[in-house]
Amino acid sequence: MESVRVFIPLNGREDRHLLSRLKQNQSIKQVHGQSISKLVTFAAAASSFSLILIMFHILHFISFPPTYGIVPRINASETGTETGTETGPETGTNMYQDSGSIFTRGHFDYRSTGQMIQGHNITDYTYSSDLANNNNSKLSNKFICSPEKEIGIYIHGPWTDEQAANEQLNRTAMSLISNNYTIPLIGFSWDSNTPVNKEGWVTAKDIAEKNGPKLAQFVLDFKNECKDTDIRLIAHSLGAEVVNSTLASLSSNQQWDKKTGSNITSVHLLGAAIDRSSVAANTTLGKAIDKLVSNFYNLRNSEDNMLEYVYRSVEQHDALGLLGISHSMPLPKNYFEREVNSEIPPIQDADGNNKLDCFDFFVILPGDNHCGYIGARGLSPFEGIPRSDGAIDIIVQDWSSE
């Protein structure tokens, strides 16, 4: 068997290019027929020195976490909402709070072809709200307008089951509160927990595109009831494809066209796993951005390991979230982008579940962790103390300056 030399990235760009070539070569060979997770496992096992570096960074951030303070639960008296919890399917305990969820899980055959399951249609969804009521129970498919006159919708990425989606929603809320910004935050939970391989990625991308009309219908229904409430979208990774499809659906919707002045107040893409040319002003998405979105932000990260190695190997082109829009492409008028790798410290296990399950074996440099955009949760028993707020502070700055 031919030996393989492994180059470990330190501080220089040349070292990182050597690692990039190694991981890219291994990706091309393995990702088409094997689990993507094996690609990362191979890279992790290749060098004991890399493990030493990783342990150093883990110990460093456990011992000296950034100070953000303990994040309180969202208070109904402050937000007009009452906190709810989701029962984790594995633990059976109430772990995560949120302000409600738009739920389309079980609508698609995510284990196989991604086809819609009988009994569902292209626009149906379930909305469960925790807005305050006498029985302290969720209000299903009933809209109660937020007294803050704005809501946020968080859209997760691929390979995310229901429990992980709830955790990400809660972590996003924690990071917002750390930045003194309280907003009713709703999660869009979709069938993205496909097999972790190339075929699973293709299926997840297809399901993401098919969820666009469902989120668009929610936006339309919500605006019918809450005309004066701003809607802000935050999408991570392949959640950008859901946003792409959502805006395309709204742009062609005659009911939306009749709503003079209606728009999406802001969209933030975090590590967007879509083609970097897809937002050009002359594309379907670019035209929808011009037509529907007041402010569209792409927070890109040129060090994102998942986009740099896995996405590039599978898609054979660069992601919008990695390098931003292609320089030769025309920009939509309300499009802004910013490099945020320095906002994402090299912390492994961002979700605090004691597993390295987010392509984070090689989290060594700022920006490496694809799952760190929404912050990093403290390790047990300090789950309520974020070690980082990721790029959420940038989102808050953008919202506050509008």
Residue 10 or 354, more confident: 354
Q: Which among 238, 72, 221 is positioned nearest to 145, based on CA atoms?
A: 221
User: Does the pLDDT of residue 70 top 80, yes or no?
Assistant: no
Q: Are 279 and 247 in contact (CB under 8 A)?
A: no
Which among 129, 130, 127, 109 has a CA at the least distance from the CA of 118? 109
More confident position, 254 or 107: 107
pLDDT at 240 over 80: yes
The mean pLDDT value for 97-108 works out to: 85
Per-residue confidence (pLDDT) for residue 44, from 0 to 100:
42
What is the mean pLDDT of the segment spanning 349-366? 86
| Residues 281-326 pLDDT 10s | 999 999 999 999 999 999 999 999 999 999 999 999 999 999 999 8
Q: What is the mean pLDDT of residues 50-57?
A: 42
- Per the CB < 8 A criterion, the answer to whether 348 and 355 are in contact is no
**Rounded to 5 degrees, what angle do the CA atoms 186, 191, 193 make?**
110
Residue 388 has pLDDT above 80, yes or no: yes
- Of residues 381 and 235, more confidence is placed in 235
Contact (CB, 8 A) for 16 and 305 = no
Checking if the pLDDT of 165 tops 60, the result is yes
Say what the pLDDT of residue 134 is. Answer: 35
pLDDT(67) > 50: no
Q: What pLDDT sits at residue 385? A: 86
Closest CA to 110 of 224, 248, 206, 225: 206
Output DSSP code: residue 319. Answer: B
**% residues pLDDT > 90 (the chain):** 61
The whole-chain average pLDDT of the chain stands at 79
Q: What is the DSSP string of 205-270?
A: HHHHHHHHHHHHHHHHHHHHH-TT-EEEEEEETTHHHHHHHHHHHHHT-HHHHTSTT--EEEEEEE
User: Which of 74-88, 164-178, 351-365 is least confident?
Assistant: 74-88
Question: Hey, what are 253's tokens?
Answer: 């919707």
pLDDT-based confidence at residue 383 (cuts at 50, 70, 90): confident
Q: Is the pLDDT of residue 357 over 60?
A: yes
Give mean pLDDT, residues 256-268. Answer: 82
Peptide bond into 381 cis (omega under 30): yes
First to last CA, the chain: 59
Per-residue pLDDT, 24 = 52
Amino acid (one-letter) located at 33? G
* Least reliable range by pLDDT among 64-68, 164-168, 279-283: 64-68
Q: What is the pLDDT of residues 10-42, one digit of tens each?
A: 333 444 555 555 445 444 343 444 444 444 443
Whole-angstrom CA distances from 280 to 136, 233, 238, 263 are: 46, 19, 18, 19
